Amino acid sequence: MIDLHTHSLFSDGELVPAEHLRRVEVLDYQAIAITDHADSSNLDWIIPRIVKVAADLNRHSKTQLIPGIELTHVPPEMFAELVTEARELGAKVVVGHGETVTEPVKPGTNRAALLAGVDILAHPGFISKEDAELAAERGIFLELSGRKGHSITNGHVAKMAEAAGAMLCVDADAHGPGDFLTAEMAKTVALGAGLSMEAYITLRKNMAAFVDRINS
How is domain 2-215 classified at the CATH fold level? TIM Barrel (3.20.20)
pTM here is 0.98
| Cα angle, residue 91 at apex, residues 127 and 204 outer, rounded to 5° | 55
The pLDDT value given to residue 25? 98
The pLDDT value given to residue 51? 98
**Mean per-residue pLDDT of the chain:** 98
Phi, then psi, of 85 in degrees rounded to 5 = -65, -40
The pLDDT value given to residue 117? 98
Residues in contact with 12: Cβ distance below 8 Å, sequence separation at least 6, in sequence order: 36, 37, 175
The pLDDT value given to residue 82? 98
The pLDDT value given to residue 58? 98
Question: What is residue 85's three-state secondary structure?
Answer: helix
Q: Is the Cβ–Cβ distance between 7 and 173 less than 8 Å?
A: yes
Domain locations in the chain?
A: 2-215
The pLDDT value given to residue 91? 98
Q: Which residues of the chain have pLDDT under 70?
A: none
Phi, then psi, of 158 in degrees rounded to 5 = -65, -40
Question: What gap in Å lies between CA 175 and CA 103, rounded to an integer?
Answer: 17
The pLDDT value given to residue 161? 98
Question: What gap in Å lies between CA 44 and CA 4, rounded to an integer?
Answer: 20
